[in-house]
Chain A
Amino acid sequence: MATPGPTPLAPRPSGRRWKFGLGLGSLVIGAVVGSSLLGNVPIPLVEGLEIFLHQLSGGALFPQVCAGSRSYAVHCAALTYIVWQLYLPEVLLALIVGAALGLSGGALQGVFRNPLADPFLLGISSGGALGAAILYVYRIQEARADLFLPLFAFVGAVATGLAILGVARGRYSSVETLLLTGVAIANLLSALLSLVLLYNPTGGEQVTFWLLGGLGLADWQVVGIAFGAVLAFGTVLVLYSRELNLMQLGADVAQSAGVDAARVRLVVILLASLTTAVAVAFTGIIGFVGLVSPHIVRRVAGTDYRIVLPGAAAVGALFLLTARDVDYLAFPSSVLPIGIFTAFAGVPFFLYLLFRQRRSSLMGGS
Chain B
Amino acid sequence: MTGPPAAPALKLRDLTVHYGDRPALLEVNLDVPAGQFLALTGPNGSGKTTLIRSVLGFLAPEQGAVEVFGRPVRSLAIRDRARQIAWVPQEESLRDDVPLRDYVLYGRFPYRGRLEGDSPDDRRLADRILSDVGLQDRASDGILSLSGGERQRAVLARALAQETPLLLLDEPTAHLDISHQLDLLERVRTLCRSHGVTVVAALHDLNLAARFADRIVVLSRGRRVADGTPSEVLSEDLLARVWGVAADLEQDRRTGLPYLVPHQLIATPRPKPSSAFVGPVHVVGGGGAAAPFLRRLAEEGYGLTAGTLHLLDSDAEAAEALGVPSAIEGPFAPLGPAARERNRSLLTEARAIVVCPFAVGPSNLANLEDVLPFVRRTPTFLVSQPPIGARDFSAGAAESAYRGLLEAGAVEVDDLGSLLAALHERLTILSAAP
Contacts and interface: CB of A to CB of B under 8 A. Distances in A.
Interface of A: 9-11, 113, 239, 242, 245-246, 248-250, 252-253, 255-260, 302-304, 360-364
Given A242-B109, A257-B110, A252 B89 contact: yes
A253 B89 contact: yes
B426 interface: no
B140 interface: yes
Interface in B64-106: 78-79, 81-83, 85-87, 89, 92-99, 102, 106
B93 A304 contact: no
Nearest to A115: B95
A188 to B, nearest CB: 30
B58 interface: yes
B6 interface: no
A259 B115 CA distance: 15
Nearest to B117: A306
Given A248-B95, A361-B95, A239 B115 contact: yes
Interface SS of A by simple majority: loop
Contacts of A249: 92-94, 106
B107 interface: yes
8 contacts: A9-B97, A252-B56, A252-B58, A257-B158, A257-B162, A302-B98, A303-B98, A361-B95
Contacts of B110: 257-258
A112 B379 CA distance: 71
Top 3 closest pairs, chain A to chain B, by CB: A364-B95, A258-B82, A258-B110
Contacts of A246: 106, 109
Given A257-B107, A258-B109, A259-B78, A363 B95 contact: yes
Contact of A259 (B85, B97, B109, B158): B109
Contacts of B109: 242, 246, 257-259
Contacts of B78: 255, 258-260
A256 B82 contact: yes
Nearest to A246: B106
Contacts of A256: 56, 81-82, 85-87
B419 to A, nearest CB: 51
Nearest to A251: B58
Given A246-B106, A256-B86, A256-B87, A363 B58 contact: no
B254 interface: no
B144 interface: yes
Contacts of B114: 239, 242
A154 B97 CA distance: 37
A11 B106 CA distance: 16
Nearest to A308: B96
A10 B99 CA distance: 9
Contacts of B349: none
Given A11-B97, A11-B99, A361 B144 contact: yes
Given A256-B86, A257-B82, A258-B79, 14 more contacts: A11-B97, A11-B99, A11-B102, A11-B140, A245-B98, A248-B95, A253-B92, A255-B78, A256-B56, A256-B82, A258-B109, A258-B162, A303-B96, A361-B95
